Amino acid sequence: SHRFGAVAAGLGRLGWSGNLMTPQFGSAVFLATVLTSAEMESDPLIEEDPCDKCKLCTTVCPVEMVSNKQTMSVTIAGKEHSYGRKGHNARCIIGCAGYHGLAPNKKWSTWSPFRVDYPFSDNVADVIDLSRRVRSADPDRQGTRAFLTQRDKCFNPNETYTNTCGNCGLICWEKREDREENRRLLMDSG
């Protein structure tokens, strides 16, 4: 996991969304990995948590990927890190890949041209099946594999990957007042 590795390297902490949150840029960062045999020392872990648990990230996800109440945790470099409990990744694929973008309150949307029946089933198998069906029906994916991930894009630069959401990371800047303004802009403009 890039985000867990980034926490271990001292770049930031996990925000409520589970994304890496840095003191300088919030969660509006993108990560990549370089493999090397060079010996390196990590920076010390960041002690002060840049996430104030405002949970605005939970309000901008059209598929309600992250719980605003339940938590999960992971131990990184001997320290426990808690963040909002996530739904199955198929939810995120449906939302962030652009197959559903209408907010649960139906007052704003992402740039997605697609809409699926919502709310999703609580049954994980049903959500995975929905994710497979919408991807295989996508006219832009016809003649290619219906399941394309950012990993595929990394290993094949000729592949096209369209990410239409990512709101949880994009609205979460360093300062809370900026997060609130980003949320307002998204909801008032969509």
Q: Model's pTM, two decimal places?
A: 0.81
Name the E strands within the chain: 13-14, 20-21, 66-76, 79-86
The confidence band for 106, taking pLDDT boundaries of 50, 70 and 90, is: confident
Query: Is 116 in contact with 94 (CB distance < 8 Å)?
Result: yes
What's the distance, Cα to Cα, between the start and end of the chain in Å?
31
The DSSP annotation for 87-105 comes to --HHHHHHHHTTS--B-TT
Query: Is 77 in contact with 8 (CB distance < 8 Å)?
Result: yes
- Token pair belonging to 39: 């010996």
Find the mean pLDDT for residues 100-113. 81
| The pLDDT value given to residue 109 | 83
Q: Which residue has the tokens 């959401």?
A: 165
| The pLDDT value given to residue 110 | 78
- The answer, yes or no, to whether residue 111 has pLDDT greater than 80, is no
The confidence band for 147, taking pLDDT boundaries of 50, 70 and 90, is: very low
**Hey, how many other C-beta atoms are within 10 angstroms of the C-beta on 39?**
5
**Hey, how many other C-beta atoms are within 10 angstroms of the C-beta on 144?**
12
The confidence band for 189, taking pLDDT boundaries of 50, 70 and 90, is: confident
Find the mean pLDDT for residues 86-93. 87
- Mode of pairing for the β-strands spanning 20-21 and 66-76: unpaired
Q: Is 38 buried (19+), middle (13-18) or exposed (0-12) by CB count in 10 A?
A: exposed
26 φ, ψ to 5°?
Answer: 65, -140
Find the mean pLDDT for residues 100-104. 85
Find the mean pLDDT for residues 46-74. 94
| The pLDDT value given to residue 152 | 53
